[in-house]
Amino acid sequence: QKEVEQNSGPLSVPEGAIASLNCTYSDRGSQSFFWYRQYSGKSPELIMFIYSNGDKEDGRFTAQLNKASQYVSLLIRDSQPSDSATYLCAAFTSGTYKYIFGTGTRLKVLA
Amino acid sequence: DTGVSQNPRHKITKRGQNVTFRCDPISEHNRLYWYRQTLGQGPEFLTYFQNEAQLEKSRLLSDRFSAERPKGSFSTLEIQRTEQGDSAMYLCATYRGGNTEAFFGQGTRLTVV
C-alpha cells in the first residue's frame, strides 16, 4: 500500500462546476497535508495546506481533513479551464521530516 | 517565483557522463530536500539536509548519487555514470519548520541519451 494514495484520473468537470479531489494516507503520524498544483513540465506550486480536522477555505479552494478516516480532500469551486492541471497531495510527518507525495490526480476543466 | 532557485533548468547528457545540479534555497530555510519526479508520478523523496547535515537518504539514491550542502546554504546533487533510467525532473524544496509548506524550485529536467 502506498503511503499517500490518489486517483490518477483524469477527472473531467465542466467549467463552473465543483471539482472534488481526494487523497488518503496510511501513516497516522502524518500531521500536515498539502495540496500542490502542477502544470505539465513545471514544478509543483502550493495551493494550500491543512493540519487541523475540518475545513479550510481560501478563495475558490477548500481543503478538508478527517484524521480519523485518514482522508484529505480539495474542493475547487467555479472551476476554470486554467485549473486544468495535476493536483498532488502530500503528507508531512514531523517525526521523519519528510513530505510524501501521492501520484497526483489529473483534472480537466472543460470549457 | 518561490525564491528557491535551481540550475540548470535543462540538462541533456550522454549515458555514462557525470552531471551536477545546484539548488539555492530561501535563506532562512534550514531544511532542504531533493526529490525526483518521472512522468505520471508524484515527486519521490531522495534525501534531505538540516543545515549542512544530510539526515536521510532514500534507498532510491544509489551509490552513483551524492548530495552535499556545504555551510548549510546551497546544495548540489551529483549523478555519476548516468543511465537512461536517471532521466527525470529533479526537484529541490526548502522548508522553514513547523506546520509550514515546502517551497519548490523550478526543477532540473535531465535527459540521458
Question: Which pLDDT value is given to residue A106?
Answer: 97
**How confident is the model over A83-106, as a mean pLDDT?**
91
CA distance A10 to chain B (A): 11
A104 touches chain B (CB under 8 A): yes
Q: How many residues does chain A have?
A: 111
What is the per-residue pLDDT for A94? Answer: 76
Nearest to A34 among B44, B101, B107 (CB): B101
Rounded distance between C-alpha atoms, residue A104 and residue A19, angstroms: 14
Q: Which residue does chain A place closest to B47, by CA atoms? A: A98
pLDDT value, residue B61: 83
Nearest by CB: A101 against B2, B43, B89: B43
- In this predicted model, what pLDDT tens digit does every residue of B50-76 receive, in sequence order? 999 999 999 888 899 999 999 889 999
Residues of chain B where predicted confidence (pLDDT) is lower than 50: none
Chain A residues with beta carbon closer than 8 angstroms to that of B107:
42-43
Cβ separation B42–A103 shorter than 8 A: yes
Q: Which three cell numbers stand for residue A2?
A: 502506498
Q: What is the mean pLDDT of residues A12-41?
A: 94
pLDDT confidence of residue A36: 94
The reply to whether A7 touches chain B by the CB within 8 Å rule is: no
Mean pLDDT (chain A) is: 93
The predicted pLDDT at position A1 comes to 62
pLDDT at residue B66, as a whole number: 95
Residue A38's pLDDT band (cuts 50, 70, 90): very high
User: What mean pLDDT comes out for the span A73-102?
Assistant: 93
Has residue A3 got a pLDDT over 70?
A: yes
Is the Cβ pair B43, A98 closer than 8 Å? no
Q: Do the Cβ atoms of A44 and B103 come within 8 Å?
A: no
8 A C-beta contact, residue B91 and residue B21: no
From the candidates A24, A25, A36, A43, which should be mutated to test the interface with B, based on the most B CB atoms within 10 A? A43
Percent of chain A whose pLDDT exceeds 90: 80
> Which of the four pLDDT bands, split at 50, 70 and 90, describes residue A71?
very high
Nearest to A101 among B42, B50, B89 (CB): B42
Calculate mean pLDDT across residues A69-80: 97
DSSP B7-67: E-SEEEE-TT--EEEEEE--TT--EEEEEEE-TTS--EEEEEEETTEEEEE-TTS-TTEEE
Partners of residue B105 in chain A, C-beta under 8 Å: 43
pLDDT of residue A100: 92
